[in-house]
């Protein structure tokens, strides 16, 4: 499964970005999709995930209430809308996929496929 992230960029604090994860030629309907991020000098952390099997959604506390993950079957994409961005959101964001079901959606060990990442930079 080839995953392609897009939508990153540079914004000021308080702004919004919509990240998208596409899988050209491969229906995402049977995969659980997670968004992860890695800031310089920090470990990669799970940000949000969606279970394609039952629609279960979860977020890391740092983005809960500011972000929304969603799946668009027609476009074969999973998006992460991030609002009220903070400088600490600055990181490379990756989407990852694993055949459903995933037991720990915010942990990376079960995901077997991931993209090249998209940079998000939030300035104060």
pLDDT of residue 10 exceeding 90, the answer is yes
Residues of the chain with pLDDT > 90, as a percent, come to 81
Mean pLDDT of 30-55: 93
Q: Are 123 and 12 in contact (CB under 8 A)?
A: yes
CA distance 33 to 26: 13
Q: Are 48 and 59 in contact (CB under 8 A)?
A: yes
Res. 108 pLDDT band, cuts 50 70 90: confident
Res. 118 pLDDT band, cuts 50 70 90: very high
Res. 46 pLDDT band, cuts 50 70 90: very high
């Amino acid at each position: 499964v080839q995953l392609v992230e897009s939508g990153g960029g540079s914004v000021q604090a308080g702004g919004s970005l919509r990240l998208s994860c596409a899988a050209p030629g491969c229906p995402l309907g049977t995969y659980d999709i997670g968004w992860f991020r890695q800031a310089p000098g920090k470990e990669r952390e799970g940000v949000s995930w969606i279970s394609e099997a039952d629609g279960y959604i979860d977020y890391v506390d740092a983005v809960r209430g500011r972000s929304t993950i969603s799946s668009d079957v027609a476009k074969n994409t999973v998006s992460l809308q991030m609002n009220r961005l903070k400088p600490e959101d600055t990181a490379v964001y990756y989407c990852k996929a694993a055949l459903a079901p995933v037991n720990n959606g915010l942990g990376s060990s079960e995901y077997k496929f991931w993209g090249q990442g998209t940079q998000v930079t939030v300035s104060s």
